[in-house]
Amino acid sequence: MSEPAKNPSETLVEITLNDKKISAPEGSTILDACKQANIDTPTLCWAENLTPVNVCRVCVVEVEGSRALVPSCSRPIEEGMVISTDSERVNTSRRMVLELLASSVELDRADKEIRGWITSYGSNPDRMGNSSEIKTSKQPVKIQDDLYVRDYERCILCYKCVEACGDDAQHTFAIATAGRGFEARISTEFDAELPDSACVYCGNCIGVCPTGALVFKTEHDMREENSWDPDNQKVTETICGFCGVGCNLELHTQDEKIVKVTSPSDHSVTEGHLCIKGRFGWQHAHPEN
């Protein structure tokens, strides 16, 4: 959806990206232009199906004339903009953002590419001090029902779940950021248990979570018993049969059993979002569950 339309009559804007002049459609963000130029840019809070909130700051780039670095995910390109994505300042900031997160949040279940960036940018979270002596997000896992697990010691506060629950997808507004500073957290009102909150169990928050803080209970339980094995999972595309909308489903199966359901974020009907039926209505396929 966010791919710029390939319309030849569209106005092009010329920018200088890492000393090379390139043209990109007007209205593109710097990140769009980087993608067009095949420049790998780390992102954590950005997703193609959500409004950019530019809070993680890992995608920052240097723009000539701007004192501070600029978040590439949300900054539109302008004619004549001179951008550098691999200067020392950019690399230091990216390395530090990842280092700060890795020192405070458990990232072992984060998306593969996130763990890859921690290595490739040379982050060394250990130098922040012994994890027992520094502040971290360590806390007990929240299991309040049969569908969701919320493991907030893995939460990097990227706001994606809040956006998916709010007006980027579901319009339920069951969760929001509460508290302030390092105590800021994703919460229901007065930390009410999820079944008592406004949550409708669409699972869209889980769908967008990049670090495994929000997971399906099936996945959580399998991880606990060490049987979660993404390398041996198969993805089968199908269309949800519960109503006439026609949402694309991706059934993730392991050992002939459905373990998780997603929808492609570039799909024109769902934009990656589903409802409780599409997301969790597969359990009748395995009656012994």
222 touches 228 (CB < 8 A): yes
Compute φ and ψ for 121, nearest 5 degrees. -90, 0
Given 34, 63, 71, 205, the residue binding other proteins (CB under 8 A): 71
Should residue 13 be labelled a site residue for other proteins when binding is judged by CB under 8 A?
A: no
122 binds other proteins (CB under 8 A): no
Alpha-carbon distance of 33 to 23, in angstroms, equals: 8
Site for other proteins in 76-95 (CB under 8 A): 89, 92-93, 95
Q: Which residue has the tokens 């020192």?
A: 103
**Member of 101, 110, 215, 261 binding other proteins (CB under 8 A):** 101
Cβ closest to other proteins, residue 37 vs residue 176:
176
Provide the 10 A C-beta neighbour count for residue 7. 8
Could you tell me if 164 and 263 are in contact, meaning their C-beta atoms sit under 8 angstroms apart?
A: no
Buried (b) or exposed (e) across 144-172, using 16+ Cβ within 10 A? eeebbbbbbebbbbbbbbbbbbbebbbeb
Q: Is 227 in the site for other proteins (CB under 8 A)?
A: no
Q: How many residues bind other proteins (CB under 8 A)?
A: 54
> Counting contacts by CB under 8 A, is residue 96 touching other proteins?
yes
Residue partners of 281: CB distance under 8 A and separation at least 6? 240, 242
Instruction: Kindly state the helix (H) or strand (E) to which residue 15 belongs, with its residue range.
Output: strand 12-17
Instruction: Tell the smallest beta-carbon distance from residue 166 to other proteins (Å).
Output: 4
Residue among 210, 202, 172, 175 at smallest CA distance from 270: 202
Binding status of residue 166 toward other proteins by CB under 8 A: yes
- Of 13-21, 47-55, 202-210, 263-271, the window that binds other proteins (rule: CB under 8 A) is 47-55
Q: Which stretch binds other proteins (CB under 8 A): 143-151, 185-193, 225-233, 265-273?
A: 185-193
- Residue 192 touches other proteins, criterion: CB under 8 A: yes
Residue 71 CB, nearest approach to other proteins (Å):
6
Q: CB under 8 A: which stretch of 2-10, 69-77, 213-221, 244-252 binds other proteins?
A: 69-77
In sequence order, what E strands does 56-194 have? 60-63, 70-71, 82-84, 148-150, 176-178, 185-187
Query: Least separation, in Å, of the C-beta of 104 and other proteins?
Result: 5
Residues making contact with other proteins (CB under 8 A): 51, 54-58, 60, 68-69, 71, 74-75, 89, 92-93, 95-97, 99-101, 103-104, 127-129, 133-135, 156-157, 166-167, 171-184, 187-190, 192, 197-198
